[in-house]
Each structure stands twice: as structure tokens, then as C-alpha cells.
Amino acid sequence: MKQTALRRAATVSAVAAAFVLGLAGPAAAHVTVNPSTATQGGYTKVAFRVPNESDTASTTKLEVNLPAESPIGSVSVKPVPGWTAVAEKSKLATPVKVHDSEITEAVTKITWTAAAGSEIKPGTFQEFDVSLGPLPATDQIVFKALQTYSDGAVVRWIDEPTTDGTEPESPAPVLKLAGASAATPSAAAPAPTTEAAAEEGDSGNGTAFGIAGLVAGLAGLILGLLAYRKAATPRP
């Protein structure tokens, strides 16, 4: 009876765990940006990772929106075999300076579209690389993304991070930006002084003399043993 009850309890626990994992799985498989951190004012290469959550349909298009309120002066897209990428620019309400040059428009949307046979199949994922910079002086960049499937379904990954730290239902990819370090680069190490160089030279010579002394000592020990054996051998 006890063994039967234990087996039933184990079965119920396994089913419950599988159910919980099944619910948690799809929530974790959203569009993300990797790496998820970068530095303000710097340049970085990010990859938008797109998993396919459908069991029957393939992902045929990805649209990523870049915020116009935090424009990025330089946006370059890496070609993906079997996909076409279109970067759309928009006029900026307020021009921004990039390397002492004023820009009045910036890329605000990138759309990748798959050719026939290149879609993201069920159970697979694809990454789309983008070079960005200089990054704005803001805490984060929220890239709202739309994922289109071959059956016409569109998943909108547009929810911004919550204030309490919990993950929203359809989170948008977020790139966290850290402030540039205020510390100045450390000065080059000074060349060793004459005294230091002399000490290093003395150290090297001392090592050489020590080795020579050890060799001489071993040679003397061997000669002494040979002499002892010769003396201990009885004469005829």
C-alpha cells in the first residue's frame, strides 16, 4: 500500500512539473537582443535572436523598431543568406550630433523578410546581426519587434520593462546601457631605473652562479664517492 501511494504521488508530481514547465517554456522563447548590455557613446554589434514558437508555422518576417527619441547615427545590417533586409529612415524632431556632424534623420525600423525555403522552421531559431553606434546617453533602448508567421499570425513583442522587475507578457528586446567610465586610462608603466635594472641583472647573475655551484658540488660528490670506492677495494 505504501509503495502504491508513493508511486501515485511521484506520478502526480511529475505531471505537475511537466505542466508547469510547459507553461513556462513559451514565455521564455521570445525575441531577444544579445548581448543585452552596452556602453553609452560606444559602438556595438548586437544580434536579434528569433526563436520559432509555433509547432506548425514558420517565421517569415521580423520587424524591429528603433526609438526615434533616442536616435542612433550609424546602423549597419549584416546580410543573412535567404533573407532581405530593409532599413527605413525617419526625420528627427531634433537633429543630433554624431562625430561633430549634425544628422537630421536616422534608421527607425529594420525589416527582414525570408525568401521561399529560408523561413525559420518550427523548433529552430535565427539571429540577425546589426552594428549600432554611437549609442545614446540613455539607460536603455527598447526595440519593439513584430514576428510574422506563415499562417498569418503576428506576435507583437512590444511590452516595455515593468517598474517592479517582473517580465511582461510580450516583452520587447531591451539593450541596457551603462555610463562611459570616467576614469582616465592609466599611464604607461615607467621604465625600470638603473638601480632596478642592476638588481635584475644581479638577480640573473646570482641564479647563474647558484646553478654553477650546484653542478660543481655534484661533481665533487661523485669524485669523492669514486675515491672512497677505490680506497675501500682490497688490494691483491
Q: Does residue 188 lie within any of the structural domains?
A: no
Range of the domain at 232: 197-236
pLDDT reading at 236 higher than 80: no
Is residue 155 located within the same domain as residue 229? no
Q: CB-based contacts of 146: which residues, under 8 Å, 6+ apart?
A: 61, 62, 63, 154, 155, 156, 157, 158
What does the pLDDT average to over 52-80? 96
Tell me if 213 is assigned to some domain: yes
Please give the pLDDT value at position 95: 85
Residue 52: pLDDT band with limits 50, 70, 90: very high
Helices (H) and strands (E) in the chain, counts: 2, 12
Percent of residues, the chain, with pLDDT higher than 90: 57
Place of cell 543630433: 96
In-domain check, residue 60: yes
Quick check: helix, strand or coil at residue 30? coil
Maximum Cα–Cα distance for the chain, whole Å? 116
pLDDT bin (cut points 50, 70, 90) of residue 222 is low
Calculate the alpha carbon distances from 164 to 24, 39, 159 in Å: 20, 24, 14
pTM: 0.66
What is the CA 52 to chain-centroid distance, rounded?
21
Question: DSSP class of residue 159?
Answer: B
Domain tally, the chain: 2
Q: Is 34 exposed, middle or buried (0-12, 13-18, 19+ CB in 10 A)?
A: middle
Q: Is residue 216 predicted with pLDDT exceeding 60?
A: no
pLDDT given at position 94: 85
Distance CA 121, CA 129 (A): 19
State mean pLDDT over 22-34: 65
Query: What does the pLDDT average to over 214-222?
Result: 57
CATH of the domain at 106: 2.60.40.2230
Same domain? For 171 and 114 the reply is yes
